């Protein structure tokens, strides 16, 4: 008997068909993957199961009984717990306060809330300890890295010991070690009979954790498969209709001209004495375990974080103490957290995509609307952004499609250095390739990139060189034949056989 089952679920948003006649079923104690390209309906189905979104038609059954889930109370009562793709933590509140917020409302104030709180704090500390790190409970959430925030969300969800757990791209900002620790906890819950729905664009994770997978395409179920009998190519074919061409990239060699140089760059406790040169047309990676200062280095160069030391741009020392100064020099940032820095969520897709580059196209301050639509249509087509109408607010796009919009807007600017901070987080395979191709093309036009990524494969596919960071310092540089996944992992953990160290 199915533990969780949906029958004939339909959902439209205005004219957009998000789900159509979705029949989906999980056995008790099963870890079931929900797969599909960006905008295929995964998050919408998750939210219908948790009662955040109401279906137009269809029924959710739990233990064969129609479940009426209309909000958080019903969801808790059914033993469902979820980690959504968008973080739901409140940045100004402390970790402890955020954990409390997530507790079952009916128990709040009672003796049970204390126990529940304690359990969540314990789960969080267990996860942190396995990672040899600490996540302090009494600091504001905004002072944590995005991966740490994600771990807080996960700990909150796991601590409820749910009967049904939904993880919607909960691992997207985590690196391999963290993912493994989270998987251990998920498997432990499964042993206790918990049913898990797992959503991820990283197929390796899916094969590692899940037994079966259901694939959505344009809001319809196209296949349900046993993963043991399925290849990655099969899954891609189900997701995309046809297999994406994965012909390898050929990133041209960089020029000799140095565009950006940092000398003895330090920032309080975040990173120390960083030195590197970035040449025209070069893609330089920042690797290492999560939270070793990579994002902070990028933020400093973007003028969003105080630093000491020197930054030279095209041979001249520059003072970059606010983002406007960076953008003026032609340095732009594609952030990992699109909701904080990347997008004006209430504004339309067209406005978001065209605004930063508007100056290049306006004459005497005048803009032709038709031209702006054309430009936006170009980006939408190139990155295959799934959007019904470019005049809709950008927050109506699926998570991955929002990220494509962030990247699209910077592709249009004529920037010299692009700082990419985990740019393909939550982006599907096909779009990821499109983004890589765009990077390759810009690179051949002489644009330089500094790329931090939680995905080692991405660093290897794109970068000419990778600087590995550990506790705020550069501990190794990998290039050419040495740039392998094995060496990257080893250098990240400071196990260094065969790797040339830099000190
Ligand atoms: N609130 C909304 N208003 C309008 N359209 C929406 C809304 N929420 C979702 N959609 C649309 O529904 C479709 C499915 O979106 P959904 O977020 O479920 O996709 P997804 O499979 O989770 O994608 P991703 O991998 O990018 O997260 C998309 O076309 C999206 O634009
Ligand atoms: Mg989604």
| Atom 7 of ligand 1: nearest residue by CA position | 396
Residue 340, in any domain of the structure: no
pLDDT at 335 over 90: no
Question: Taking the alpha carbons of 82, 168, 341, 476 in that order, is the dihedral positive or negative?
Answer: positive
What residue has token string 């056989």? 497
Ligand 1 atom nearest the C-alpha of 41 is: 18
Of the three residues 211, 240, 269, the one that is the final residue of a domain is: 240
Please tell me which of 15-19, 132-136, 434-438, 477-481 the model is most confident about, judged by mean pLDDT: 477-481
Ligand 1 atom nearest the C-alpha of 40 is: 21
pLDDT at 306 over 90: yes
The verdict on 424 and 408 lying in the same domain is: no
The verdict on 297 and 168 lying in the same domain is: no
Task: Extract the tokens encoding 172.
Answer: 């997207």
Quick one: which of 193, 191, 238 has its CA closest to 217?
Answer: 238
The verdict on 179 and 295 lying in the same domain is: no
Ligand 2 center from residue 145 Cα (angstroms): 21
- In the beta sheet, which residues pair with residue 212? 32, 226
The string of DSSP letters for 332-359 reads: EEE-S-IIIII--TTSBHHHHHHGGGHH
Residue 242 confidence class, pLDDT cut points 50, 70, 90: low
How far CA 122 is from CA of 118, 134, 342, in Å, comes to 6, 12, 34
The verdict on 83 and 179 lying in the same domain is: yes
d(CA 341, CA 72): 29
CA 440 from centre of chain: 21
End-to-end, the C-alpha distance of the chain in Å comes to 60
Average pLDDT over residues 392-417: 85
Of the three residues 240, 264, 298, the one that is the final residue of a domain is: 240
Residue 435, in any domain of the structure: no
| Atom 2 of ligand 1: nearest residue by CA position | 396
Structural domain range at position 300? 254-330+416-430+445-503
pLDDT at 494 over 80: no
| Atom 1 of ligand 1: nearest residue by CA position | 396
Of 24, 34, 41, the residue with max ligand 1 atoms within 8 A of its CB, to mutate for a pocket test, comes to: 41
The verdict on 229 and 153 lying in the same domain is: yes
Higher pLDDT, 432 or 309: 309
Q: How many CB atoms are located within 10 Å of the residue 77 CB?
A: 12
| Atom 17 of ligand 1: nearest residue by CA position | 398
Ligand 2 center from residue 36 Cα (angstroms): 9
Of 9, 12, 16, 85, the residue with max ligand 1 atoms within 8 A of its CB, to mutate for a pocket test, comes to: 16
The verdict on 226 and 164 lying in the same domain is: yes
Ligand 1 atom nearest the C-alpha of 397 is: 31
Residue 483 confidence class, pLDDT cut points 50, 70, 90: very high
Residue 335, in any domain of the structure: no
d(CA 280, CA 275): 17
Ligand 1 atom nearest the C-alpha of 201 is: 25
Would you state the torsion angle of the CA atoms of residues 277, 283, 289, 292, taken in this order, to the nearest 10 degrees?
A: 40
Average pLDDT over residues 240-256: 72
Contacts of 51 (CB under 8 A, 6+ apart): 69, 70, 71, 72, 74, 75
| Atom 3 of ligand 1: nearest residue by CA position | 396
The verdict on 230 and 263 lying in the same domain is: no
Q: Which of 20-24, 335-339, 438-442, 459-463 shows the lowest per-residue confidence on average (mean pLDDT)?
A: 335-339
172-201 confidence digits (pLDDT tens): 888 888 999 999 999 999 999 999 999 998
Q: What pLDDT is recorded for position 499?
A: 45
d(CA 366, CA 387): 27
Task: Extract the tokens encoding 32.
Answer: 């079931």
Ligand 1 atom nearest the C-alpha of 46 is: 18
Of the three residues 177, 209, 240, the one that is the final residue of a domain is: 240
Task: State the pairing for strand pair 57-62/2-13.
Answer: antiparallel
Higher pLDDT, 160 or 247: 160
- In the beta sheet, which residues pair with residue 266? 308
* pTM across the whole model: 0.75
CATH number of the domain at 135, please: 3.40.50.300
Ligand 1 atom nearest the C-alpha of 169 is: 27
* Nearest ligand by distance to the CA of 39: 1
439-449 confidence digits (pLDDT tens): 888 898 899 99
Q: What pLDDT is recorded for position 399?
A: 82
Ligand 1 center from residue 9 Cα (angstroms): 15
Ion ligand 2 nearby residues (CB, 5 A): 43, 85, 398-399
φ/ψ of residue 455, rounded to 5: -115, 105
State the chain's mean pLDDT as an integer.
87
Ligand 2 center from residue 23 Cα (angstroms): 18
Q: What percent of the chain has pLDDT over 90?
A: 46
Residue 297, in any domain of the structure: yes
| Atom 5 of ligand 1: nearest residue by CA position | 396
Residue 364 confidence class, pLDDT cut points 50, 70, 90: low
Q: What percent of the chain has pLDDT over 70?
A: 92
Ligand 1 atom nearest the C-alpha of 428 is: 25
| Atom 4 of ligand 1: nearest residue by CA position | 396
Residue 288, in any domain of the structure: yes
- Per the CB < 8 A criterion, the answer to whether 311 and 317 are in contact is yes
Residue 246, in any domain of the structure: no
The verdict on 52 and 136 lying in the same domain is: yes
195-214 confidence digits (pLDDT tens): 999 999 888 999 999 999 99
The verdict on 277 and 396 lying in the same domain is: no
The verdict on 319 and 188 lying in the same domain is: no
How far CA 332 is from CA of 40, 266, 327, in Å, comes to 30, 20, 6
pLDDT at 223 over 50: yes
Residue 438, in any domain of the structure: no
Q: How many CB atoms are located within 10 Å of the residue 395 CB?
A: 14
Residue 42, in any domain of the structure: yes
| Atom 12 of ligand 1: nearest residue by CA position | 18
Quick one: which of 285, 287, 313 has its CA closest to 301?
Answer: 313
Ligand 2 center from residue 37 Cα (angstroms): 9
Ligand 1 atom nearest the C-alpha of 36 is: 21
Question: What total number of domains does the chain contain?
Answer: 3
pLDDT at 261 over 60: yes
pLDDT at 481 over 60: yes
φ/ψ of residue 481, rounded to 5: -65, -25
The verdict on 220 and 234 lying in the same domain is: yes
Which residues line the pocket of ligand 1, CB cutoff 6 A?
Answer: 13, 16, 18, 36, 38-44, 85, 386, 396-401
- Per the CB < 8 A criterion, the answer to whether 430 and 244 are in contact is yes
The verdict on 288 and 277 lying in the same domain is: yes
Residue 267 confidence class, pLDDT cut points 50, 70, 90: very high
Ligand 2 center from residue 185 Cα (angstroms): 23
């Amino acid at each position: 008997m199915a533990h969780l089952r949906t029958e004939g679920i339909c959902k439209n948003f205005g004219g957009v068909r998000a789900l159509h006649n979705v029949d989906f079923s999980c056995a008790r104690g099963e870890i079931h993957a929900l797969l599909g390209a960006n905008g295929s309906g995964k998050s919408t189905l998750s939210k219908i199961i948790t009662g955040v979104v109401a279906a137009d038609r269809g029924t959710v059954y739990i233990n064969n009984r129609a479940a009426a889930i209309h909000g958080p109370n019903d969801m808790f009562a059914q033993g469902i717990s979820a980690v959504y793709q968008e973080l739901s933590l409140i940045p100004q509140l402390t970790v402890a306060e955020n954990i409390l917020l997530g507790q079952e409302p009916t128990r709040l104030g009672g003796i049970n809330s204390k126990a529940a709180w304690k359990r969540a704090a314990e789960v969080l500390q267990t996860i942190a300890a396995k990672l040899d790190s600490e996540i302090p409970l009494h600091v504001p959430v905004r002072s944590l890295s995005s991966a740490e925030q994600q771990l807080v969300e996960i700990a909150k969800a796991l601590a409820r010991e749910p009967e049904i757990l939904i993880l919607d791209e909960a691992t997207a900002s985590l690196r391999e070690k963290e993912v493994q620790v989270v998987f251990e906890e998920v498997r432990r819950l499964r042993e206790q009979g918990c049913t898990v729905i797992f959503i991820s664009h990283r197929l390796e994770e899916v094969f590692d954790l899940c037994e079966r997978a259901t694939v959505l395409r344009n809001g319809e179920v196209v296949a349900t498969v046993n993963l043991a009998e399925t290849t990655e190519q099969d899954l891609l074919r189900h997701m995309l209709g046809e297999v994406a061409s994965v012909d390898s990239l050929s990133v041209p060699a960089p020029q000799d001209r140095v565009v950006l140089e940092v000398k003895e760059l330090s920032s309080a406790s975040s990173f120390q004495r960083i030195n590197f040169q970035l040449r025209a047309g070069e893609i330089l990676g920042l690797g290492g375990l999560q939270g070793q200062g990579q994002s902070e280095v990028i933020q400093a160069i973007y003028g969003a974080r105080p630093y000491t030391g020197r930054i030279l741009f095209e041979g001249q020392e520059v003072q970059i103490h606010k983002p406007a100064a960076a953008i003026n020099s032609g340095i732009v940032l594609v952030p990992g957290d699109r909701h904080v820095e990347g997008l004006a969520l209430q504004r339309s897709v067209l406005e978001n995509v065209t605004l930063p580059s508007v100056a290049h196209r306006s004459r005497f301050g005048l803009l032709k609307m038709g031209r702006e639509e054309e430009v936006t249509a170009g980006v939408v087509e190139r990155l295959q952004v799934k959007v019904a109408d470019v005049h809709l607010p950008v927050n109506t796009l699926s998570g991955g499609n929002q990220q494509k919009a962030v990247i699209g807007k910077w592709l249009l600017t004529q920037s010299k250095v692009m700082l990419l901070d985990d740019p393909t987080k939550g982006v599907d395979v096909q779009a990821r390739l499109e983004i890589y191709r765009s990077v390759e093309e810009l690179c051949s036009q002489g644009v330089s990139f500094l790329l931090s990524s939680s995905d080692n494969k991405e660093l290897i596919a794109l970068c000419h060189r990778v600087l590995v960071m550990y506790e705020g310092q550069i501990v190794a540089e990998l290039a050419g034949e040495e740039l392998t996944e094995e060496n990257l992992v080893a250098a990240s953990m400071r196990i260094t056989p065969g790797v040339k160290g830099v000190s």
